[in-house]
Structure 1
Amino acid sequence: MKKITLLSLLAAFVISCADKSQAPGAAPVPLLPVATVTNENTITDSEYPASIQGKVDVEIRPQVSGNLDRVLVDEGAYVSKGQTLFKINERPFREQLNNALASLHGAEAALINAQLEVDKLTPLVQNKVVSDYQLKLAKSSYRIAASNIEQSKAMVASAKINLGYTNVTAPVSGYIGRLPKKQGSLVSASDMEPLTTLSDVHEVVAYFSLSETDFINFKSHYAGKTIGDKINHLPPVSLILADNNAYPQKGKIDMVDGQFDKTTGAITLRATFPNANGTLRSGNTGKIRLGINHDNAILVPQSATVEMQDKIFVFTLNKENKVSKMPITVIGKSGVNYLISEGVKSGDQIVLSGIDKLQEGQLIQPEKSAPKVAQIINKK
C-alpha cells in the first residue's frame, strides 16, 4: 500500500513539473516607436473644384447674311489673329458697293452742276439782271447736292464694311472649336449657334468657389487690409488635374468676385496659370489646391491615428509607459499629417505605429532615440 502511494505521489510530481514546463510565459511588453509632439509652422492644403477657361473665349459669328462659300480652318486648329476663317459669298455685297459708288458719282456730278449755276447767277445778280431770289435757289440746290455727296459716301463706306464682313477673321490667336456650319450653309447674324468658338489659351483661368466660412478664414490668414492687398500676399496655388496629378506650372489668384452667389452662398475666385504649350484647354476641370499658413500648429502623422465611430484617436504615453486612447480634433491636413486643435499639446508623447492592437492602459516599451513628431513630419 505504501509503495502504491509513493508511486502515485511521484507520478503527480512528474505531471506537475510537465505542466509547468509547458505553461506559456507572460506576454512580452511591446517595443513601439514614440515621439514628442511640438509646435511647428506649417501650411495646410485645401482643394476646391475648378472649371478652366481660356484667357479669351470668343464666339465667332457672321455679321452679314449669306451662303458660306468656304470653310478655311479645321476643328482644333491653331489660328493667328487676323487669319481668315470663313468666306461668305461676296457677290451681293460687291454689287451693293458698286451701286453705292454709282450714287456717289451721280451726286458729285449734281454738285458740279449746282456750282455752275451759282457761278452763272452771281454776276447777273450783281448787275441786277436777275433777281436775288434765283441766286438763293441756286445756292440752296448746291447745299442739297453737297449733302447728297456725304450721304453717298456713307453708303459707300457701309457697303465696303459689309463686303469686308464676308471675310470672317480671327479676333485673337487661339484654337478653333467645333464647326457646326459646313460649306454651302446659309448663315445669318441672328443665328442662335455661332460659326465656331475660338479660345486663346496661352494663359488659362481657373474659377473656383469658397463658402462663406472658408472665405472668412481666407481673409483672416493673409496680410493686408483690403482684398487687393491680401491677393498680393497670396502664395502661388496648384492646379490638380482630373488624373490627380499636379499641373507643373503654379498659378496666381488675381480676382475675387464682388459678391456672394445668393443661390449657393459661395463666392468665386479666379486663378491664372501660364499655358505656353497648350496643355490645358477651355472646358478642362480640376481642383485648386490653396495653402493656408498656420503658426505654432500641432501636427500629427495620419499613420499615428486610428478612426473609430467617426472620431479620430491617438495613443498618448504617460510617465509609467502606459498608453491612453485620446480623441483629437482635426481642423485640416498638411500632406500626410493632421492639423490638431484639441486632444494633444506640445510636449505630449504619442505612439507612432503598432497602435491597431493597443489597449487602454497597456504597458509598452518606448523605442529609444525616437525622433520628435516635427522631425518625422519634416522627413515626410
Structure 2
Amino acid sequence: MNKYVKWTLIGLLVLGALWAASFFIKSNSQSITEYETFKPFISSIEMKTVATGKVIPEDEIEIKPQISGIIDKIYLEEGATVKAGELIATIKVVPNEQALYQARGRVNNAKVALSNAELDYNRNKTLFDKGVVSAQDFQNIQLTFNQAKLEVENAQNDYQIILRGSAGGSSSANTYIRATVNGTILEIPVEEGDQVIQSNNFNDGTTIASIADLGKMIFEGQVDEGEVGKLAVGMPLTITLGAVEDKELSAKLKFIAPKGVEEAGAVKFKIEGDVDVNDDFLIRAGYSANASLTLEKKDSIMVIPEALLQFDRDTNKPYVEVATGEQQFERRDIEIGISDGINVEIVSGLEEDDDIKQWNKTEPIKIGDEEEGDGENAE
C-alpha cells in the first residue's frame, strides 16, 4: 500500500512540473506590444463653441383691443400676410349697465338744459330785435344756447360709444381690430365668441393677434460663463436649424447679456445675433437652432492628435513620449496652445521629424476571423 502511494505522489509531482513548465513557456511566448508612432504635422485649428437657442422675429407685435367685449368675427387666419391698417377682427360690445344708465341720464339732462336754453334764446331774440336787450347780453344768451346743443351732442356720442363701441360708423372705431404694422400673423389666440378685455393702465389686455416681419429674424441663445469672456459684438455666427437639414445661415453677434442666469448649477449668458434670412426657404418663428462661434483660429501651426498627450500626476503639465530607437521612448515635456478637441497646437518641445508614441494603444478587437486594428497614422 505504501509503495502505491509513493508512486502516486511521484506521478502527481511530475504532472505538476510539466504543467508549470508549459505555463511558463506559454506566458513567455506572448508577443511584445508594438507601439505605433505619429509625427507632428502642420495644420490649422479653430477653437469653437456652440450656443443652443432658437430663431425668433426681431420684433413681435401683440394686437390688443381698446374696448372690452366679445369677438364678433375674425377675418384672417394665422400665417396670413397683412399690411398696417388691415382689418383682423371686430368686437361686439357688451355695455356695462351702470355706465350705460349714467350715460343715458347725462343725455336726458343735456336735453333738458338745451330746452331751457332754447326758450331763453327765443325770448331774448325777440327782445333783441325790438332793441330792448343789448347786443352783449344777447351774445351771452346765444353762447349758452350753443353750448347746450354741443353738450347734447357730446352726451349722445358718449352714450353710443358705451352702447356700440363707436359714435356713428367711423372706420377707426374701437370695435375694429386692425393690424398696426406690416408682417405675418403668427398667432390668433382667440376665437369668435371669446370675451376680451381692453388694454388699460392696470391690465395688459387680451391679445387678439401677434404680428411679426419674418424677413427680420434674430438668433437668441445662451453660452456658458467660461466662454462668454471670449465673445465680442460683431463676431460672425453660423446658424443651423433643427427643422431644416443641410442649410446654414449667417449671422452677426449683436448683443451679450451683462448678467447671467443660473440654470442647473451653471451660469448662462444670453446672446443675440442678426440672421441673414435666405429667401430660398421659409424660416418659421421659434425654430430651434445652434449657433457656432469661432473663439480663436490659427493657421499653419504644428499640431499633434490630442490623444497622444499625457499629463504628469503631480504637476498636471503635458508631456509625450518620443522615440529614441526601435520601440524605445523617452519623456519630453511640451507646451501646448489651443485645441479643437481633436488636434492640439504644439508651442514648444517638439520638432516635425519627432516620432511620438501612441501610449494608449489597445489590443485589436476580433470580429469573426478578422481583426479590427487601432487605425491609421494620423499624419
TM-score in terms of structure 2 length = 0.57
User: Which structure carries more relative contact order (alpha carbon 8 Å, separation 6+)?
Assistant: 1
CA offsets per residue over residues 302-326 of structure 1, 9 Å max, x none? 4753689999977453565744566
Q: Tell me the secondary structure at the aligned position of residue 159 of structure 1.
A: coil
State the 1:85 CA deviation. 2.9
Residue 186 (structure 2) aligns with: 176
**2:38, 2:357 within 8 Å by CA — same for their partners in 1?**
yes
- 1:357 counterpart (361, 365, 369): 361
**2:323, 2:356 within 8 Å by CA — same for their partners in 1?**
no
Residue 247 of structure 2 is aligned to residue 256 of structure 1? no
1:67-146 map, 5 Å: 67-74=70-77, 76-81=78-83, 82-89=85-92, 129-130=132-133, 134-135=137-138, 137-141=140-144, 144-145=147-148
- 1:159 counterpart (151, 160, 166): 166
Residue 347 (structure 1) aligns with: 351
Please tell me the root mean square deviation across aligned C-alpha atoms, in Å: 5.3
State the 1:145 CA deviation. 4.4
Q: Distance in 2 between matches of 1:312 and 1:169?
A: 67
Q: Distance in 2 between matches of 1:271 and 1:72?
A: 35
Q: Tell me the secondary structure at the aligned position of residue 135 of structure 1.
A: helix
Q: Number of aligned residue pairs: give it.
A: 307
Residue 272 (structure 1) aligns with: 274
Q: Distance in 1 between matches of 2:283 and 2:333?
A: 44
State the 1:119 CA deviation. 7.4
Q: Distance in 2 between matches of 1:176 and 1:87?
A: 19
Aligned identity (percent) is: 12
1:194-209 map, 5 Å: 194-209=207-222
Residue 61 (structure 2) aligns with: 58
CA offsets per residue over residues 246-273 of structure 1, 9 Å max, x none? 642201112334x314656554321121
Distance 1:28 1:77, change over 3 A: closer
Distance 1:244 1:150, change over 3 A: closer
Distance 1:144 1:132, change over 3 A: same
Q: Distance in 2 between matches of 1:297 and 1:154?
A: 80
Residue 220 of structure 2 is aligned to residue 218 of structure 1? no
1:212-361 map, 5 Å: 212-219=225-232, 231-232=233-234, 234=235, 236-242=236-242, 247-257=247-257, 259-261=258-260, 266-273=268-275, 274-276=277-279, 279-294=282-297, 300=303, 302=305, 305=308, 315-317=320-322, 320=325, 322-324=328-330, 333-334=339-340, 337-340=342-345, 345=349, 347=351, 356-357=360-361
Q: Distance in 2 between matches of 1:354 and 1:169?
A: 70
Residue 34 (structure 1) aligns with: 39
Q: Tell me the secondary structure at the aligned position of residue 77 of structure 1.
A: coil
Q: Distance in 2 between matches of 1:136 and 1:293?
A: 85
State the 1:288 CA deviation. 1.7
CA offsets per residue over residues 117-161 of structure 1, 9 Å max, x none? 88777676xx6x335773364154156348648946985898256
**1:117, 1:138 within 8 Å by CA — same for their partners in 2?**
no
**2:333, 2:349 within 8 Å by CA — same for their partners in 1?**
no
Distance 1:208 1:143, change over 3 A: same
Deviates more, 1:266-275 or 1:162-171: 162-171
Q: Tell me the secondary structure at the aligned position of residue 192 of structure 2.
A: coil
Q: Distance in 1 between matches of 2:69 and 2:226?
A: 54
State the 1:205 CA deviation. 1.3
TM-score in terms of structure 1 length = 0.57
State the 1:67 CA deviation. 3.1
**2:241, 2:247 within 8 Å by CA — same for their partners in 1?**
yes
Deviates more, 1:280-289 or 1:129-138: 129-138
**1:48, 1:288 within 8 Å by CA — same for their partners in 2?**
yes
Distance 1:113 1:263, change over 3 A: farther
State the 1:46 CA deviation. 0.9
Residue 7 (structure 1) aligns with: none
Q: Distance in 2 between matches of 1:211 and 1:25?
A: 50
Q: Tell me the secondary structure at the aligned position of residue 229 of structure 2.
A: helix
AA partner of residue 237 (structure 1): L
Q: Distance in 1 between matches of 2:55 and 2:142?
A: 66
Unaligned regions of 5+ residues in structure 2, if any? 1-27, 363-376
Residue 47 (structure 1) aligns with: 50
CA offsets per residue over residues 255-296 of structure 1, 9 Å max, x none? 334x31465655432112125456432222222211123457
Distance 1:89 1:333, change over 3 A: farther
